[in-house]
Amino acid sequence: MNMNATLSIEAEPYTFELVPARCALLIIDMQRDFLEPGGFGEMLGNDVSQLRQAIEPNKKLLEAWRAAGLQVLHTREGHRPDLADLPPAKKVRGHGATTIGDTGPMGRILIRGEAGHDIIPELYPLPGEPVIDKPGKGAFFATDLHAILQNLGITQLVVTGVTTEVCVNTTVREANDRGYECLVPEDCVASYFPIFQEMGLKMIKAQGGIFGWVTGSSKIIPALA
């Protein structure tokens, strides 16, 4: 592959011109606590099967991306074991009986180093793929993601992961404000709530692509080959 060639990807609201040398795959929060049965997400009453629909499309896209020799990054939402980076407002939000830092089905909930905080085996990072541990919804807040991307010469992002309306949308908006072009494959993102999935994608591509572009992995993978 010519890393500096332009790959025209069919997308909404219009064609996305992907330059491999300047584009990274950013996989958001595909963590065990959010996606696996018996995890924190299911404990809150969510249907994790809605999120698990994104695993296989992500796996296929990740395999193709790696095979093409392109940059991959992963994120995980979570907090320090001493909770020093956990705002009190986030700790109490929802008034649940079990909250961040408490013991859950796979260790302390959303705490770095615990089993539930880690990325699912199907999409586990390879050595050399940066993992961004973020304390908030957006991947740029209180992290070194922007510095890493600048050092790598990245100006475009293919953003996948969960959930569409929260961490994916927040990250795409943060990236847009920092000058990155974002492409979101709709089958590689997911929400616990189908209506939020639909609306989250509509918001990204609205008004001529106010935050970015939306496509499907089936449009990206052939271009990489």
Domain ranges of the chain: 27-198+206-223
Give the residue among 197, 201, 163, 165 at the shortest CA–CA distance from 183. Answer: 201
pTM over 0.75: yes
Among 9-23, 38-52, 195-209, name the one with the lowest average pLDDT.
38-52
Look at the block and give the residue holding tokens 């924190």: 40
Could you list the active site residues? 29, 134, 167
Give the percent of the chain with pLDDT over 70.
100
pLDDT given for residue 29 in this prediction: 98
Q: Which value, to the nearest 10 degrees, does the dihedral of the CA atoms of residues 191, 197, 203, 209 take?
A: 100
Is 145 in contact with 127 (CB distance < 8 Å)?
A: no
Among 2-11, 70-79, 94-103, name the one with the lowest average pLDDT.
94-103
Sorting pLDDT into bands at 50, 70 and 90, what band is 48?
very high
CATH class of residue range 27-198+206-223:
alpha beta
> Per-residue pLDDT for 96 more than 80?
no
